[in-house]
Amino acid sequence: MSTPHIGAKKGDFAKTVLMPGDPLRAKYIAENYLTDTRLVNEVRGMLGYTGSYHGKRVSVMASGMGIPSMGIYSYELFRFFDVDNIIRIGTAGAISEKLKLRDVVLVMSSATNSNFAAQYRLPGTPAPTADYALLKKADDKARQYGKTVSVGSVFCSDTFYDDANSLEQWKKLGILAIEMESAALYFNAARTGKKALCICTISDCPLTGESCSAEERQTTFNDMIRIALECVE
């Protein structure tokens, strides 16, 4: 069945979906890494493809930007299209001084200023976390490639332009980086009994002003793409 946001049928998506934020990154992955690829969604320009990677069926679809957009697309994939695993492959801004441009971060947990979890009416503050098996597999695959990755917590922000300027405070808590989608993905996976992992490449360093170009963000973050694809079963 299709939804208001995904014009696909059941069976069009593989059990594992890679989710970059940018539709053009989804297109890049489909064209450069997958074989026997077909377009399964283009509603609202959120391009989605299904193909094969080394004989394993896998899909890739954009999530758009921010918690609301990721919240919609990941929920629909989990709930209506029988997807079991979603691996976000996106960008993040470095908070930790240990990180530099193009470093890869495996997101173990996601602190957030979002009110997304209020819908669950819990008597406390839930902690959105990755699926351990996916996290461990990604870490193992990175080591096999000889790629050094950082594993830890990020801050998932509801705002891109933030008057509070709180990054130094998050830095004191050991937060590695800032991004805008992981919390919604992890909450949706937990609520639906599915699995999720967020793999991010550092595209900018807000505290120093360094950044990658838009073209580099779209096409050159290949380490996280390979790591994510190797996690497909």
Active-site residue, 204 included: yes
Asked if residues 109 and 181 have their Cβ atoms less than 8 Å apart, the reply is no
Among residues 103, 131, 204, 223, the one annotated as catalytic is 204
For the cut 90, the answer to whether the pLDDT of residue 217 exceeds it is: no
Q: pLDDT at residue 1 above 80? A: no
Average pLDDT, the chain: 95
Q: Which CATH class is domain 16-230?
A: alpha beta
* Contacts of range 208-215, beta carbons closer than 8 Å, 24 or more positions apart: 210/101, 211/101, 212/101, 212/102
The answer to whether residues 105 and 138 touch, using CB atoms and an 8 Å cutoff, is no
> With bands split at pLDDT 50, 70 and 90, how would you rate the model's confidence at 2?
confident
Residue 43 clears pLDDT 90, i.e. is over it: yes
Give residue 226's region: left, alpha or beta (phi > 0; psi -120 to 50): alpha
Residue 59: per-residue pLDDT: 98
179 and 69 Cβ atoms separated by less than 8 Å: no
pTM score, whole prediction: 0.95
Q: What is the structure's pLDDT at 215?
A: 79
- With beta carbons less than 8 A apart as the criterion, state whether 197 and 231 touch: yes
Could you report the per-residue pLDDT of 146-177, keeping only the tens digit for each? 999 999 999 999 999 887 778 999 999 999 99
For the chain, which residues make up each domain, given as ranges? Answer: 16-230
pLDDT in tens, 82-134: 999 999 999 999 999 999 999 999 999 999 999 999 999 999 999 999 999 99
